[in-house]
Structure 1
């Protein structure tokens, strides 16, 4: 396979800072009742995994009552600031939120339901590690209101789990998933890592086969990213472990896509696969550029502070360190570290970067009925009407259509001619081949968007065509809600 690719990295919840720009001013939000997803960050773990760079803490003891009270108060405060009418989904992430008690989850959900409408049956997801997952506490979480579980299996090989610094064994992972599926049938997702140092193509194929025999109807596959400052990255840098080969990573990813789709999974987002309609509605809110509110240490949010009379979308980040965050929540009602009004260009950049991660892409017009279009690989890409719903380009750019930005001669036209993108009456989306190399397509698309809006700031490097030809991969901007 070709050497030039950008490959997906973990996206539990996207909140990365994208390049900013000019523009005529903030895009006013409509007067329709506001809705938002809610992310709740539990920052504590029993130990830090060797690859982890997220905002997590290992402490001798946790004052759960104090943390619970602060999560409840901050959720109430930010819901009041945003004047959100309805919370569409709740996601408890971390950290290891399955280390919290069901009572903490219940208290937060009760606070949310008291401050806004929480529809019956709204998706409520809890992240869990196999080492803290058994039938008894899971039943408690279900009684508290959780109806979907995301289990960090990561690998079904004991040697790989030890290298990753995981607490659990492969046998414990299997037992945890079986217990979860018994309590949350059809709503148990598992995370799996590929591209581990020293992992062979055959080993990955075996892990994938074992996973298919275990999994429910949702799988998240993430290429291991060696983040600066992690123990695993230091081992690779010191030569103690081999660095993964880019071509091998590409083959692993493509193999997984083909195998999962062939067994009934829809590849609905770069790293996510679902069958029987088991898509994560919470994560879709990020990719659709809907409003979302982040609660807890280091959580990110994107919402309008209607309670302050604002009509501008803000990017907010909560204080990282738990003790400092709690002190601020107890004093002010919330622990926001930073808040920045996003310019129209920044909002469109986020919409482009995130929306194209889905198989639907970004639509301009309201939903319409049309068949799925063949993409030349013997596979069908769902049309917008059959997929996730509008990605609201028109909402963020009412006067400048997708066709006006990306339909004229330029980078986007070239990418369409090369078979990476489709721009038609349904909107802008990646082809089957393009979805796999999205990271290497985005810089050209962002450059064209910036140029059309008169805010271009071309990076000082070669063109993306030159980089693809030269074998240099380009990563998309991504982040993690925690």
Structure 2
């Protein structure tokens, strides 16, 4: 569950509920209690985004109205795919029918505030099937779509099957074509690619995700949750910490009951840590990194000081990057190959800081 637009210092609060597998398996009363506890602790904007990730099973679909009453005002529905066989391969416990019904019901309750998650590049997936799936999705989706290439998790049944050669992923070039096709199809249907994997109509961006991409503060609460926020050290100075909570749900609960927190790891972020994150995540959004935002983190070296180089000039000449009075950003063509560009930008950052 993600709670956005918390007004104290602009910090976003992210509630991770791995203990429940997905937040929408919680009872609506539990969600209500969490939201109201947060509101008691911080000043909460009336326009604050309160997003709940929903797995579109029949049970969770039935709770949508109760979740709205509990304070949820945006939902992200994990449709994943409209291929019944693929849902089984991916280990999902919902059906295509329940997914379509869940999206429909969510749009009635949360008009303009429903996001749909889709996965592509799974075993048996083809470009022609993907095109059909996108056209079907466009008939029922709302204002926001997130697309994710399948990531294999070590230890899962699917990982073991691929490792043993029992099934295989589509060829890499076909997966690339799937992504490019989706970008084009969604653009033709009025969706802006405002982030590498996220598309929105009518500027219906995901507020809490923008906090991560723009290098803002966020607090993670729950098993395995991550946070990045500024705290006051013992000497009174301010430090930005990267904090990770205990991953295992049972251990997380035990630590909460015994110590009133379950922060497993605290890392004081160095200047280079903060700038690397800003660069790697900030370049994922279509407007990139503005001079103002960069100067807030690195006042002694401007974007021009660091990236006015032959490498960046080559990228700019190839229409992959732009460095101008707005800042540094990837072009639409550059966003297609951003993973190959970011390492060069980080190398230039290290070289500039070492001078």
TM-score range, shorter chain: over 0.9
In structure 2, do the counterparts of structure 1 residues 315 and 422 end up closer, same or farther at CA, with 3 Å as the change threshold? same
1:168 to 94, 118, 121: 94
Is the contact made by 2:19 and 2:223 (CA closer than 8 Å) also made in structure 1? no
Contact 2:290/2:326 (8 A) holds in 1: yes
In the other structure, the counterpart of 1:311 is 238
- 1:34 is paired with a residue whose SS is helix
CA deviations 1:234-282 (Å, max 9, x no partner) are: 2112111122211101100000000101110010000000001211011
Give the CA RMSD over aligned residues.
Answer: 1.7
Q: Determine whether 1:431 maps to 2:331.
A: yes
What are the residue-to-residue correspondences of 1:365-376 with 2, within 5 Å?
365=292
1:37 is matched with 12
Matched, 1:451 2:316: no
2:276 alignment counterpart: 349
* Unaligned segments of structure 1, at least 5 residues: 1-11, 14-31, 46-94, 366-391, 456-482
| TM-score normalized by the length of structure 2 | 0.95
Structure whose residues are more often helix by fraction? 2
Q: Distance in 1 between matches of 2:111 and 2:61?
A: 13
**CA–CA separation in structure 2 for the residues paired with 1:235 and 1:323:** 29
1:235 is aligned to 2:145: no
Q: What is the aligned length?
A: 350
Alpha-carbon distance between aligned partners in 2 of 1:201 and 1:294, rounded to the nearest angstrom: 37
| Structure 1 residue 307, shift from structure 2 partner | 7.8
Work out the CA distance in 2 between the residues paired with 1:447 and 1:135.
Answer: 47
Aligned to 1:147, which of 55, 58, 73?
73
After superposition, residues 66-465 of structure 1 pair within 5 angstroms as 95-131=21-57, 136-306=62-232, 309-365=236-292, 392-407=293-308, 409-454=309-354
**RCO (CA 8 Å, sep 6+): is it higher in 1 or 2?**
1
In 2: Cα distance, 1:33 partner to 1:189 partner: 26
2: CA distance, partners of 1:303 / 1:277:
27
Task: Provide the C-alpha distance between the structure 1 equivalents of 2:175 and 2:55, rounded to a whole number of angstroms.
Answer: 25
TM-score (norm 1): 0.70
CA distance in 1, matches of 2:281, 2:146: 16
Q: Deviations over 1:167-223 (max 9, x none)?
A: 111111101111111111111111001111121110111111111111011000000
Contact 1:218–1:279 (CA<8 Å) still a contact in 2? yes
- C-alpha distance in 2, partners of 1:119/1:253? 36
- Mind listing any 5+ residue stretches in structure 2 that lack a counterpart? none
